[in-house]
Chain A
Amino acid sequence: MQKKSYKDATLEALAEEMGRDPSVFVMAEDLHGRGGGLSHYLGLKELLNGDTSHMLDTPISETAIVSSAVGAALSGMRPVIDMRFSNCLPACMDELVNQAAKSRYMFGGQGKVSMVVRCPDGIVKMQGAHHTDCLEAWFAHIPGLQVVVPSCPAEGKGLLKTAIRNDNPVIFLEHKTLFKTEGDVPEGDYTIPFGKARIAREGRDVTLVVYGVMVNRALEAAEVLAAKGIDAEVLDLRTLTPLDKETILASVRKTGRAVVAHEAVRHGGFGGELSATISEEAFSSLKSPVVRIGAPFVPIPVSPHLEDQCRVLPQNIVQAVCQMMA
């Protein structure tokens, strides 16, 4: 174990996978200039000993980036591409939804689309509506895609390595605030299987079902709740597709209560799927209805006080749990 930032942990994972398999390559805007949109590729060249042959600096052409990645993947490569931030995803929905997701299936398995679409998302500060959306629900709704939402540096490393090695198109959503966070990261060849949720904190009274940046916020909430005598279990889903229903249901059957939280807009969010799954399949264990927490149904505004209303923070989770337990 070594303490590393999320940026460094994922950069190392990428460099290791590129060294391990020559079919892995990276395509991103501004890759050689500022090291990608968030400079999270700065240092990659050095980790590759100066070999930039597999680092492609692209034009500002998200549509062509995604579709050329699909074409390369169908021809045997393993591209890792970066969408700069989540609101670029809508510019290439055909390429993600019709081409990446469906090519393998509708061609009867003749080709595989082994690609990773890295995509920073989420609210930081005053970035406005075109840089902040959390769109995981869109992609979780598409058969053929896998959706991965890492929560911390170690998870980022292990999940990114698995994403690169597996043979499916992976939407890899990374909250922008994660990149500077630090944590203990296992050395060497550390991979995390998809579809296996992590119990980030064990508890008896209520299950907090979360993913991505919300995991740390839920852990903070759990500490506050502990001081109030409420023992919360925190589940880090890691991957939304595939979804580890077993671990969710087992936890809820134990605690009898579930709060589902995400930074995405609550209306039509993935929390609805989680809530429905729990309600349908663990109804008899529930002591109270499942509660969903998410952002209000508005584009994210710039003005700080309005923006603050869109954040889903530990206190929102604490409040929801307290109401539920009252």
Chain B
Amino acid sequence: MFSKEELLRHYETMVKIRKFELEAKRARESGDILGNVHLYIGEEAVATGVCACLSLHDRIESTHRGHGHTIAKGADLRPMMAELYGKATGCCKGKGGSQHIADFQVGMLGANGIVGGGFGLAVGAALAARFQNSDAISVVFFGDGAINRGPFHESANMAAAWHLPVIFVCENNGIACSTQHATGGQQAVLNLSKRADSYDMTSYVVNGNDFFAVQAAMEKLVQRARNGEGNRCGFLECQTHRALGHNVGDSQPYRDAEAAWARLEADDPIQNFERRCLTDGVLTREDFDMVSAHVDSLIEDARRFAVESPYPEPDELYADLYD
């Protein structure tokens, strides 16, 4: 059972992600920022539920759709927003942008522009933890598209064979860029968790729009990864829904965009969370409104910080390349 404070914290995380993404969408559509911006709207319960089970020193590897993971792991919104703007105060000093957002201080080792790029990095982070006598575990987020890349299999095998604490979190949002998971003809076996069986991993398939389902399954995997013996790897398939296009500006000629958005309204992870808490009588509408207003102010503060921050100095071009 969660305390009221814990519930409020998790709720706030989901709302932060939603509102951060809506602001990023506005900024990209208005031209305040340019480049690739991939939004996490509709998938908030996955990152929040997973990271609710992690400690600060645990490490996560993210995807190109990385804002939600970064926020859920505990990153500050100001340097995140500044990073989207390419400003010197950004968490990557303006050199990474949306697609390479990272905050090592909170164990977020980076969003990755290469689909499937994070698998091996997570294995390596877990390996480092073992050498360093740390109980830190690694989590790699990836999609239903990335699981078809070879690095998934090499990394899953290596992590399992070496008994490393790595949890593979598959965000099955039903669509790989524009190719449907169920009907796109790209999966030999639609049940993705079967692939975890090949590496003898404990696996769960959960409703990724239900924070409580994600958190409960993840907690079991984390316990095993941190304290288990033998193969400590886990696999969590979170079935969720990408409410918008692949990136901001994607007109979605491959599906009915209005229906995709309507599906979010019918099965919104944030509203699902609210409903559950109201039913349980642990939080009230006033609680939600207070959180929402607070997050609004955080987002506006982050936006202002980003807009007012300077761009990097020209001599920053070569900084952080070599020693």
Contacts and interface: CB of A to CB of B under 8 A. Distances in A.
22 contacts: A59-B161, A61-B155, A64-B154, A66-B120, A67-B117, A68-B120, A68-B127, A70-B121, A71-B109, A73-B124, A74-B124, A75-B124, A98-B117, A104-B320, A107-B95, A107-B96, A108-B95, A108-B96, A110-B92, A144-B321, A166-B323, A242-B322
B135 to A, nearest CB: 14
A132 to B, nearest CB: 24
Nearest to A71: B124
Contacts of A279: none
Interface residues of B, number: 47
B226 interface: no
Contacts of A75: 59, 109, 124-125, 128-129, 132
B151 A71 contact: no
Nearest to B157: A59
Interface in A1-35: 22-23, 25
B120 A64 contact: yes
Interface string A136-156: 000000011010000000000
Contact of A107 (B92, B151, B162): B92
A274 interface: no
Contacts of B100: 106-107
A106 B96 contact: yes
A251 B119 CA distance: 47
Interface in A272-287: none
B90 interface: yes
B131 A67 contact: no
Given A71-B61, A94-B117, A105-B320, A61 B158 contact: yes
Interface of B: 59, 61, 90-96, 100, 102-105, 109-110, 112-114, 117, 119-129, 131-132, 138, 150-151, 154-155, 157-158, 161-162, 319-323
Given A59-B158, A106-B92, A108-B91, 6 more contacts: A68-B124, A71-B61, A77-B128, A107-B92, A107-B102, A143-B321
Interface string A69-110: 111111111010000000000000011001100011111111
B124 to A, nearest CB: 2
B38 to A, nearest CB: 16
B156 to A, nearest CB: 9
A111 B150 contact: no
8 closest Cβ pairs, A-B complex: A67-B120, A71-B124, A109-B320, A108-B93, A75-B128, A71-B121, A68-B124, A108-B92
A58 interface: yes
A182 interface: no
A168 B321 CA distance: 9
A68 B123 contact: yes
Contacts of B157: 59, 61, 64
Contacts of B105: 110
B322 A58 contact: no
B173 to A, nearest CB: 23
A238 B96 CA distance: 32
B125 A71 contact: yes
Contacts of A76: 128, 132
Q: Which of A67, A69, A167 has the most CB of B within 10 A?
A: A67
A69 B124 CA distance: 6
Which of A69, A95, A110, A143 has the most chain B CB atoms inside 10 A of its CB? Answer: A110
Most buried by B among A59, A72, A143: A72
A71 B120 contact: yes
A70 B120 CA distance: 8
A55 to B, nearest CB: 12
A96 to B, nearest CB: 12
B154 A61 contact: yes
B151 A67 contact: yes
Interface string A176-187: 000000000000
Contacts of B92: 106-108, 110
A106 B95 contact: yes
Contacts of B319: 109
Given A68-B155, A75-B124, A23 B321 contact: no
Contacts of B151: 63-64, 67, 94-95
Contacts of B131: 22-23, 25, 54, 72, 77
A95 B123 CA distance: 13
B158 A72 contact: no
Contacts of A110: 91-92, 102-105
A73 B40 CA distance: 29
**In the complex, which of the residues A22, A54, A58, A108 has the most CB atoms of chain B within 10 Å of its own CB atom?**
A108
Given A68-B121, A75-B125, A98-B114, A58 B158 contact: yes
B102 A67 contact: no
Contacts of A66: 120
Contacts of A107: 92, 95-96, 100, 102, 104, 110
A104 B138 CA distance: 19
B123 A67 contact: yes
A146 B61 CA distance: 25
A83 to B, nearest CB: 14
